[in-house]
Structure 1
């Protein structure tokens, strides 16, 4: 149990929760801005003395059920709840992730699009792509435990990295929507594994990640460069896929943003067809 951090965290969350938000009358003689310890204990259905000892960081027995009730009483977010369990040294029950499967019609849509298009799952592993995207990004050529991960390749694959001549703004936008996806899927342990691996392998990722940037899932004007296509600019258009079997998947469609991109897309189509026939 990380007692000092646990004590500080519980006190901060208790002080930040207004009594009215927890359904507790404020009264006229309240000296604290947030909830009192006895109010948290009552809301969580635990003893006042036990909760006081927990908040003081004492060595006591803590169950997952009691921690879950405290998290609910303090209106903790899913990530805050996970942090509470981690500080208390208690395993957090995690529901099994449902199977993730794209409908066959998604691949048909990608194949019919006349430009690079691909689909990412919530942790940004590439699920599907068309021939133009495969030629540009080389999805099939990657190897290793994170071979299909779009964030990993952006930072650690030199051939992928050269596609982004203005890397930092593009990377921050990518990490911004990645962070939003992480917040929407707090039970997916793959995020922690990937972020830890990226932080260990790329100081640049770690530097950008700690900036805590978020970004909406909206179109981005994205400069690109490829030795055979030259410099061109696209609208990276992101569309969420609403499907019970693929919740959290996002389709990326590159739309030409300038005349150079129009020419590059024409050439890209020829190159992809030649590669398919080879």
Structure 2
């Protein structure tokens, strides 16, 4: 698109979005003498904290200097969706600043709990990226075996790493459906984190099973789930997958996943797992 065409598109886009936004939606009264269907230019300028003349020139498609900060305020004033905001920045010829995801630090007491827990336990961030795990979880999941840009992601590996599929037998799709459903809830709670869209796009393109589940629009709470599993060294067993959200300033949004044996036979499998892991940790 040429510079001239970009300005024409920008003009049409801003006018359309301004007309589509009811004043009540941004806390402004409609009044009796409003001639425009949506917001007035002066209202958008005030909401975005920019000059009326400058905004008028922008909406008219004139060649003016535009900063990313001012454009971001206009996007908020017009209540643009993430895709609309990206389009606005593209029309203006600016790189859209991506918000840096907050770095989550797993608190030391949680790390200590993982170390002492006699069963698989691990911590995931809101994207379901792996933050921490104990040796029993590594025994089952073999976390370091995966490579690539999504190597630490629990959802990606459930669909794309064949040994994980074996672990979730004999009911892989049931377990996968629950995983996708709670991941969708986390995605909705973090609309400004671009990592979610990148992961979903990659999974939709590479996994027909994920794409099908994603299209179903199912949601599920972050609550305990009875989960049948299979490991060649242990056989079939069943766990309560217990999910514990962390409420800490450094780790808000992270969740501890703990596996608890669901019956006596599964408890015996846990005992064998602990014995094997502990024996492997002893010095030769």
* TM-score interval for Structure 1 and Structure 2 normalised by the shorter chain: 0.7 to 0.9
What are the equivalent positions in structure 2 for 1:122-201 lying under 5 Å apart? 122-164=126-168, 165-201=170-206
Contact 1:37 / 1:52 at 8 angstroms: preserved in 2? no
More displaced stretch, 114-123 vs 186-195: 186-195
Structure 2 residue 244 is matched with structure 1 residue 239: yes
Deviation at 1:109, TM superposition (A): 0.1
Deviation at 1:111, TM superposition (A): 2.0
**Alignment partner of 1:268 out of 262, 265, 273:** 273
1:27 corresponds in structure 2 to 31
Report which of the two structures shows the higher radius of gyration computed on alpha carbons.
2
- TM-score of the superposed pair, with normalisation by structure 1: 0.77
1:109 corresponds in structure 2 to 113
Distance 1:241 1:107 in 2: 12
Q: Deviations over 1:163-200 (max 9, x none)?
A: 22222232232223323333444554433443343333
Structure 2 residue 47 is matched with structure 1 residue 43: yes
2:262 corresponds in structure 1 to 257
2:85 corresponds in structure 1 to 85
Structure 2 residue 226 is matched with structure 1 residue 221: yes
Q: Secondary structure at the match of 2:211?
A: helix
Deviation at 1:155, TM superposition (A): 0.5
Q: CA RMSD in A?
A: 3.6
Q: Secondary structure at the match of 2:150?
A: coil
How many residues are treated as equivalent by the alignment? 269
Contact 2:122 / 2:257 at 8 angstroms: preserved in 1? yes
Deviation at 1:254, TM superposition (A): 1.3
CA gap of 1:7–1:262, structure 2 versus 1, over 3 A, is farther
Structure 2 residue 125 is matched with structure 1 residue 118: no
Deviation at 1:12, TM superposition (A): 7.0
